[in-house]
Structure 1
């Protein structure tokens, strides 16, 4: 796996202002989607259609007020949507650089000023150029859907019905993002409410620079990094459409980067509402988890609540150690389970080595797949999408890890995220190839201290007979024989009947 440098560089609006075509009159256009084609004004998702609610009526997240809107939301009982992503919608501007930005704030700002002098090419060509001259760098850019779009696209390609809940502006970047989501069969629901915003740039689509150096290390920077406030701090409550999307979804997914856009109070309100309406919550704190731990009191409380109230937590082994102070990833996962109120699964991502899925009574382990890694951006998001697939279809836990490892690895074989995340056929080819990156010594050392677990399963490439170990091996061939038909159904968009 390539090293990644997750930079916390969010530039000022002046640096990354999106377009002169920004909203001219926020009062007259409460949502940019209302002026777009009909599929933007309705929540549509692979045949699912929810009539749009008037933008002029915005209810609070409390559903006990007895309003017409509240009653309408209460009446929605069928969960036709598989996954709704919450916030973190952005356009990635991918750019090769001779070196990642320096650490001092003023030097980083000057560096980003230089990079933003010329507009990017929005070509879908995802080649990342290696350049050594900063004067050449500016022409070697392209656009891609980023943030939670990565997870949404990967989930849609697995045959799941997906909706994104968030905000994008009515400028060239926002229209680009809408078109990408629509082409992937993904619905879009605006969070915007009726409100006058003093700064028109506050409505603009969030941009994120994805900087790639010659060693394929990545730096990420977006516009709020130099601001103490979230990018969309003017939002105070979810729209009626957003609440309907959450209520109709089986899973709502939020990651730590959502805190860069939305206030902690709004994110907590969305969590509370999901719990109230029986929607499972997936939370991936990501690198932001560490900074949220030392953030404002509101941020710390929101992080703690997401860690305790989410159904599924997804972390790297480093992130799990950072949040718990425990180096052993299994013990760290068990600690998060113990501290949780609703937590069912804690999933630990360990890069090319594979992943763990920990429940109160079991430990499931799956080595990763051997692949030629080109780019690791989007691998974690793709992995989450496959975990959602397994969760929704109640697959055996080690099967869920297997497909998640495969989707993440298939994405790593490509260049960039967004529309470049793994296609389903790539995933099936990788699984059929049966080429695990097994490291028996690593797994033995990791598991030998956990013999007291009720059940430990480990994915293996070769079937093991008569094993007296406390670890129950599961043959990859057995998993493949049962997993491929499920994926073939997903490819035909008929997974629900398989």
Structure 2
């Protein structure tokens, strides 16, 4: 089984639960406020670790009150945190508002995530690695440098372009697997994504640009995998969503862990869909991510 390396963000999530999201200019009361370790990078690292992978996290926290808490949380989830740097200033923060339907809005404050640098990832860390997971909550120059290092060392790049923005054309050839939701796929490809058929058109755009594998997650509609020579689709598990925070990160981390352990694409998609389904039934980011045993229990009790 290959290791998984995550280069990305580490945040403290400040979560406000509300009956509904406010209109522009409107002030409303929240039902409660909680603090939860998060960040796309850290969430994906925790997901891969709980799903059975050996995981190393590369990132940065501030020397504020949150920094030590964030590193300790990763350590407690079995993630190797020895390469995380402590920078002057604040840790990354995410201000999350969740309504009664479980839908969320998120405002990010980069903090120390903006100080992550590619020198933190050494060639030694890539030895034995199956894949490196990347997102868009650290400097784009770091992502590019890591992609090039992975290409030289023969390590797969799993890229989650979130928050979404247009990609430089020359990056496409450096990405082995791109994983996006409907909104991200639509923004980057320029093609509206509302269902499986439109997701296939968007996926074809990325493949034509040079990316080997594309996964588009469609929320309650399921997830689509597409490459030049193959296609897989898995429906979503039917659950009552309480909080969608970290659902996408859970899917990505679980998929990578399953692939690293030798699972087929179809097996890994189903495994990731089950992990994500469990996550949305719980509140918070990392604390909502399931362990491998829980995922397997859902798989064993389901007909999917």
Aligned counterpart, 1:179: 72
1: CA distance, partners of 2:294 / 2:183: 29
SS of 1:187's partner is coil
217, 233, 241: which is aligned to 1:365? 233
Instruction: Report the Cα distance in structure 2 between the residues aligned to 1:98 and 1:364, rounded to whole angstroms.
Output: 37
Give 1:457-472 correspondences, 5 Å limit. Answer: none
Give 1:465's aligned residue.
none
Match of 1:251 in 2: 131
Task: Specify which structure has the higher proportion of strand.
Answer: 2
SS state at 1:407 partner: helix
Change (3 A) 1:401 1:98: closer
Query: Which residue of 258, 261, 271 corresponds with 1:390?
Result: 258
Q: CA RMSD in A?
A: 2.6
- Cα 1:315–1:360 change in 2 (3 A) is same
User: What's 1:144 paired with?
Assistant: 36
1:191–1:238 CA contact under 8 A, matched in 2: no
- The 5-angstrom pairing of residues 56-205 of structure 1 reads 82-97=3-18, 100=21, 103=24, 133=29, 140-147=32-39, 148-190=41-83, 192=85, 200-201=88-89, 204-205=90-91
Could you tell me which runs of 5 or more consecutive residues in structure 2 were left unpaired when the two chains were aligned.
193-197
**Structure label with greater radius of gyration:** 1
Q: CA deviation at 1:215?
A: 4.0
Match of 1:207 in 2: 93
Structure 1 residues 98 and 374 mapped into 2: Cα distance closer, same or farther (>3 Å)? closer
Q: Measure how far apart 1:191 and its partner are.
A: 5.9
Question: How far, CA to CA, are the matches of 2:225 and 2:143 in structure 1?
Answer: 26
Q: Distance in 1 between matches of 2:297 and 2:85?
A: 41
Q: Could you say which residue in structure 1 is the equivalent of 2:186?
A: 321
The TM-score with structure 1 as length reference comes to: 0.55
How do 1:400-415 residues align onto structure 2 when only pairs under 5 Å count? 400-415=268-283
Write the mapping of 1:307-318 to structure 2, written as runs, cut at 5 A: 307-318=172-183
Q: 2:147 aligned to 265, 271, 274, which one?
A: 271
SS in 2 for 1:376: coil
Give the conservation status (yes or no) of the 8 Å contact 2:45–2:79: yes
Residues 263-302 of structure 1: pairs in structure 2 closer than 5 A: 264-286=140-162, 288-289=163-164, 292-293=165-166, 300-301=167-168
The Cα of 1:185 is off from its aligned counterpart by 1.1
CA contact (8 A) 1:283 1:307 kept: no
Tell me how many residue pairs correspond in the alignment.
Answer: 298
1:387 and 1:417, CA in 2 relative to 1: closer, same or farther beyond 3 A? same
Aligned equivalents of 2:115 and 2:271: distance in 1? 39
- Matching residue of 1:238: 119
Flag structure 1 segments of 5+ consecutive residues without an equivalent: 1-79, 112-131, 225-229, 294-299, 437-498
